[in-house]
C-alpha cells in the first residue's frame, strides 16, 4: 500500500518517504555502511555559514530554553565575520557583521576551523596551540557545546520497523563535529 502511494506522489521527498517506509516494513532498517560526509574535501567545500547553520540544526532547543548569548566569529585568513546569536532557543548567524558588545569573540583562521569541523582537533587544542583566541566570557561556548545533539540515523520511517534505540549516539570528543553514520572498511 505505501509503495503504491509513493509511486503516485509528484514530490520526490514525499515519494521517497513512502518508498523508504514500504522497504522498512518489508525488510527492517537498512544495514551497512553509509557514505562518509566528513572528509577533507567535503569540509573545505562547506562554507562557514553553512557549518553554522548545521550547528543550529543540531541544537537541542529544550536545552537552549532561556539561554541567550551573542558571539562574534572571525576568520582572518578568509576575511569572514559572523554574529552568532542564541535567543528564543534558536541559533542564528549573520555573515558580514560583528556585534558591538558580544559575550564572546572567537578568532580562528578558516584553515584551522576546518580541522575543528572534521574533528581532528578541538577549539581548546587550537587555543593551546595559539591558533585560536577567545576574548570575553567563555560560558557561551561551553553552553553551546552542551546543547548540541549527535544525530542517530537509525531511526524508523514508519512505526513497526523498530530502530536500535538502546544505543545512544556517540557524544565524541568534539561536540562541533557530527560523527559519520557508519564506517566503510573499504575506504578506511
Instruction: State what percent of residues in the chain have pLDDT above 70.
Output: 79
Query: Does residue 110 share a domain with residue 28?
Result: no
Do residues 172 and 150 touch, judged by C-beta distance below 8 A?
yes
By residue range, what is the domain housing residue 74?
A: 40-147
Query: Does residue 114 share a domain with residue 24?
Result: no
Can you tell me the distance from the alpha carbon of 134 to that of 132, in angstroms, rounded to the nearest whole number?
7
Query: Does residue 138 share a domain with residue 108?
Result: yes
In a domain, 52, yes or no: yes
Query: Does residue 59 share a domain with residue 10?
Result: no
**DSSP character at residue 59:** B
Domain count for the chain: 2
Query: Does residue 71 share a domain with residue 26?
Result: no
Q: What's the mean pLDDT when you consider all of the chain?
A: 84
Query: Does residue 28 share a domain with residue 45?
Result: no
What pLDDT shows up at residue 60? 95
Can you tell me the distance from the alpha carbon of 40 to that of 20, in angstroms, rounded to the nearest whole number?
30
Query: Any idea what the CATH number is for the domain that residue 143 is in?
Result: 3.30.1050.10
Query: Does residue 46 share a domain with residue 137?
Result: yes
In a domain, 131, yes or no: yes
Do residues 24 and 157 touch, judged by C-beta distance below 8 A?
yes
In a domain, 171, yes or no: no
What pLDDT shows up at residue 7? 87
150, pLDDT greater than 60: yes
Can you tell me the distance from the alpha carbon of 98 to that of 186, in angstroms, rounded to the nearest whole number?
45
Local confidence band at 83 (pLDDT 50, 70, 90 cut-offs): very high
Place of cell 565524541: 172
Query: Does residue 48 share a domain with residue 16?
Result: no
In a domain, 179, yes or no: no
Selected residue with higher pLDDT from 162 and 138: 138
pTM for the whole thing? Answer: 0.72
Query: Does residue 50 share a domain with residue 13?
Result: no
Which range (39-43, 98-102, 148-152, 157-161) has the least confidence? 157-161
70, pLDDT greater than 90: yes
Query: Does residue 133 share a domain with residue 46?
Result: yes
Local confidence band at 178 (pLDDT 50, 70, 90 cut-offs): low
Contacts of 50 (CB under 8 A, 6+ apart): none
Local confidence band at 40 (pLDDT 50, 70, 90 cut-offs): confident
In a domain, 168, yes or no: no
Query: Does residue 44 share a domain with residue 28?
Result: no
**DSSP character at residue 164:** -
- DSSP secondary structure letters along 97-137: ---SS-SEEEEE-HHHHHHHHHTSS-HHHHHHTTSEEEEE-
Question: 104: exposed, middle or buried (C-beta count within 10 Å: 0-12, 13-18, 19+)?
Answer: buried
Query: Does residue 116 share a domain with residue 46?
Result: yes
183, pLDDT greater than 50: no
Do residues 127 and 112 touch, judged by C-beta distance below 8 A?
no
Amino acid at each position: 500500500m505505501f509503495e503504491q502511494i509513493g509511486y503516485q506522489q509528484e514530490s520526490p521527498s514525499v515519494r521517497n518517504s513512502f518508498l523508504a517506509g514500504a522497504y522498512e516494513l518489508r525488510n527492517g532498517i537498512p544495514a551497512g555502511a553509509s557514505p562518509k560526509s566528513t572528509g577533507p574535501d567535503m569540509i573545505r567545500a562547506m562554507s562557514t555559514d553553512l557549518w553554522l547553520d548545521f550547528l543550529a540544526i543540531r541544537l537541542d532547543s529544550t536545552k537552549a530554553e532561556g539561554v541567550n548569548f551573542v558571539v562574534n566569529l572571525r576568520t582572518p585568513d578568509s576575511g569572514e565575520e559572523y554574529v552568532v546569536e542564541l535567543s528564543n532557543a534558536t541559533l542564528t548567524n549573520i555573515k558580514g557583521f560583528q556585534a558591538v558588545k558580544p559575550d564572546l569573540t572567537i578568532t580562528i583562521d578558516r584553515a584551522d576551523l576546518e580541522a575543528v569541523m572534521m574533528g581532528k582537533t578541538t577549539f581548546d587544542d587550537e587555543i593551546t596551540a595559539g591558533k585560536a583566541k577567545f576574548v570575553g566570557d567563555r560560558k557561551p561556548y561551553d553552553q553551546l557545546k552542551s546543547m548540541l545533539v549527535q544525530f542517530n540515523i537509525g531511526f524508523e520511517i514508519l512505526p513497526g520497523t523498530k530502530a536500535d534505540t538502546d544505543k545512544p549516539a556517540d557524544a565524541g570528543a568534539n561536540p562541533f563535529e557530527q560523527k559519520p553514520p557508519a564506517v566503510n572498511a573499504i575506504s578506511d
